[in-house]
Homo-oligomer: A and B are copies of this chain.
């Protein structure tokens, strides 16, 4: 099929279950909520070697936050609840409690799984902290240098999905990059998802395993999607007129959220002149339980 005259390949993205915690960070202004959110979600692209996958989900006005201040939802993801709890404690304790004007709230108050991260952080108050209720949320007030830090008692988590994805193939790198930036901006409007890579974009789409370094490398470059190797490897997937490819990786709370994000991102990617094709990454369907067919999105 085609979208805006661009080929949407008849393939699917393969994705995996992951555990996701969701936190709402508020600040005195939107800027300061984003400062805390950015620090807390950094060094969080892939659990291959990052301690978590993390990203900013969406920005909200004070109408949607317990303290009436502007806020930012973030997601933090790991494969197990134990490592997730540890990451919450470290990332929120070091990057939100320390951040100017930030407060933190439960982003999944109705989830079955709840961590008492806020309760644990209150001990930073050294006995001067107190319990309070703000916007109906059980919270703690911790006196600090800037004033008082507010944290809700619990942070909720649930099973979600990691690795939703699509590829943008374009005539050159700068075209592919503008299309990828567009896709990420569009996905930022979609509820329930994050794009954890730098700027939301993956430059280094990989394959499982290795041809030449199989003894010590678990993931290596996907040479069949490498433009500079299209004349050098057999069975390249890079069309003759393509010289730049970016992948967008999406984590999210549900299959529908991933689908909405893929749809929104692909729709805006194909508006950039020079985009040639949209594809997606999978491992033949043998590994991940989730499949997102590109054709079924539209």
Contacts and interface: CB of A to CB of B under 8 A. Distances in A.
Interface of A: 4, 28-32, 35-36, 38-46, 48-51, 54, 61-63, 67-70, 89-91, 93-102, 123-128, 142-149, 167, 171-178, 180-182, 185-186, 189, 197-199, 201-206, 210-213, 216-217, 219-223, 225-229, 232-233, 243-247, 264, 267-268, 270-274
B197 A98 contact: yes
Contact of A102 (B94, B147, B203, B267): B203
A137 to B, nearest CB: 16
A39 to B, nearest CB: 4
Nearest to A141: B228
Contacts of A171: 171-172
Quickly give the copy total for this chain.
4
Nearest to A268: B62
Nearest to A3: B68
Contacts of A223: 126, 128, 143
A44 B42 contact: yes
Contacts of A142: 221
A173 to B, nearest CB: 5
